[in-house]
Amino acid sequence: MICSWWSWAVGGFKELLAQLMLLQQLAEAQVRFFLLMIKKSFLVIFMRVKYEFLEALQVKTQKKGPCGTL
């Protein structure tokens, strides 16, 4: 009787441990995904700022002739 109760308790503990490990893996995957989205967002912002800066620099440095830009 005690032996069957003990095996049931150990089986339940193993099942709980397996579920906790799966939950931890899911949480880690969600954190990685969240960090990847932040990284992509910063990359998009950086590329837009860089593009606007280069556009402004190009407009500023264009040589102007008598009829406009050369």
Q: Tens of pLDDT along 19-60? A: 999 999 999 999 999 999 999 999 999 999 999 999 988 877
Tell whether the model's pLDDT for residue 63 goes beyond 90. no
pTM: 0.58
Cα–Cα distance measured from residue 45 to residue 20, given in angstroms and rounded to the nearest whole number: 37
**Do 42 and 35 form a contact (C-beta atoms < 8 A)?**
no
| pLDDT, position 41 | 96
- Domain positions in the chain: 31-60
Tell whether the model's pLDDT for residue 1 goes beyond 60. no
CA distance to 24, 40, 41, 50, per residue, from 45 (Å)? 32, 9, 6, 9
Q: Which segments of the chain does DSSP mark as H helices, in order?
A: 2-61
